[in-house]
Amino acid sequence: MASSIANMTYIIIGGASGMGLATVQTLLARGAQVAVCDISEKNLETLLGSLAPQNSTKCFARIVDVTDRSAIDSFFHAAEEHFGNLNGIANFAGTGGHGLGTEAVWQTTEEEYNFIMNLNVKGLFNVLSSGLDPGFLADRASVVHIGSIFSQKGFLNGAVFAASKHAALGMVRSAAKETEGRARVNCVLPGVIDTPMHRANLARVKNFTPTPATPIPRDGTAQEVANVVIFLLSEESSFVTGDAWNVDGGANA
Ligand SMILES: NC(=O)c1ccc[n+]([C@@H]2O[C@H](COP(=O)([O-])OP(=O)(O)OC[C@H]3O[C@@H](n4cnc5c(N)ncnc54)[C@H](O)[C@@H]3O)[C@@H](O)[C@H]2O)c1
């Protein structure tokens, strides 16, 4: 069966690093077009510099902060104007905060609470409120949000992070019901994945081991998450919606 990804067009938010970057690169390699945004100008420049010449016209890139509702809405409409039909959205922009793994809930400042919730919950609200507006995406579109295995369980010294990921999963599941099948909405829940974000946590916290023993005893790769995200974006997953897909080496087994 030919891949249903070729010639499709997707918006990827937070697509200039880690799992988002692997998703952008794989979509382009499989013949899709991508509108990518990220808050990091440096990461976006690196991504654009790495594109094969035949892919440069297939990638529309802008610096956008997902927490800025009007900026996300403008970016989505610019992508629509640039490419026409849009077949789906994947949102990778998220944070563990500045004290993940080190601060109990009573040690977390209000400023930190607002930072995490604004990015991990309001960011998704901005994406869904513009992206699922009836008529914006093509028929049979798919939206994928990146949660965490901590969308479904507590994180020792990461209560606000876990709360934000639980909230986002609730929003995804509710949106799947509200769209009544005109668009599918799913969440991917990564375990420990080797990305710049994870490496920064390792550098910050001694013995950072959020999932101590997994049946597959290693960290996952960004590509392994991208593969599942792309499956959920594609028509191959046409009867899957409102779901949460673990990509965690069996951490939840
Ligand atoms: N790496 C892990 O082990 C792991 C595990 C579970 C869940 N996650 C989640 O996966 C997602 C992606 O993480 P990653 O590990 O690929 O991280 P990453 O830091 O490598 O990539 C995240 C990208 O999002 C961008 N971004 C951050 N804030 C933004 C904003 N306000 N607006 C737009 N873009 C923004 C960053 O610039 C970066 O390019 C996050 O939601 C993270 O919480 C990561």
Per-residue pLDDT reduced to its tens digit, 208-231: 988 888 999 999 999 999 999 999
Fold held by 9-247: Rossmann fold (3.40.50)
What lines the ligand 1 site, CB under 6 Å? 13-14, 16-20, 38-40, 43, 65-67, 92-94, 96, 119, 146, 148, 190, 192-193, 195-198
Contact 93/15 with Cβ under 8 angstroms?
A: no
pLDDT of residue 209: 86
Share the mean pLDDT of the chain: 96
Q: What is the pLDDT confidence band of residue 29, given thresholds at 50, 70 and 90? A: very high
**Helix or strand holding residue 187 (H, E):** strand 183-190
Query: Residue 178, class by beta-carbon neighbours within 10 Å (0-12 exposed, 13-18 middle, 19+ buried)?
Result: exposed
Q: What is the pLDDT confidence band of residue 1, given thresholds at 50, 70 and 90? A: very low
Atom of ligand 1 nearest to the CA of 193: 3
Q: CA-to-CA distance for 140 and 142, rounded, in angstroms?
A: 7
What is this structure's pTM?
0.98
Q: CA-to-CA distance for 121 and 67, rounded, in angstroms?
A: 9
Q: What angle do helix axes 123-131 and 69-83 make, rounded to 10 degrees? A: 40
20 Cα to the center of ligand 1, angstroms = 8
Ligand 1, pocket-test mutation among 23, 38, 48, most atoms within 8 A of CB: 38
Per-residue pLDDT reduced to its tens digit, 132-146: 999 999 999 999 999
Q: CA-to-CA distance for 235 and 87, rounded, in angstroms?
A: 10
Q: What is the pLDDT confidence band of residue 147, given thresholds at 50, 70 and 90? A: very high
3-state secondary structure of 163: helix
Domain spans of the chain?
Answer: 9-247
The DSSP output letter for 102 is T
Q: CA-to-CA distance for 51 and 219, rounded, in angstroms?
A: 27
Per-residue pLDDT reduced to its tens digit, 165-197: 999 999 999 999 999 889 999 999 999 999 999
pLDDT of residue 207: 85
User: Measured at the alpha carbon of residue 64, what is the angle toward residues 99 and 49, in degrees to the nearest 5?
Assistant: 100
CA count, 13 A, side-chain hemisphere, 237 = 25
pLDDT of residue 2: 54
Query: Which residues are paired to 224 by β-bridges?
Result: none
Per-residue pLDDT reduced to its tens digit, 83-135: 999 999 999 999 999 999 999 999 999 999 999 999 999 999 999 999 999 99
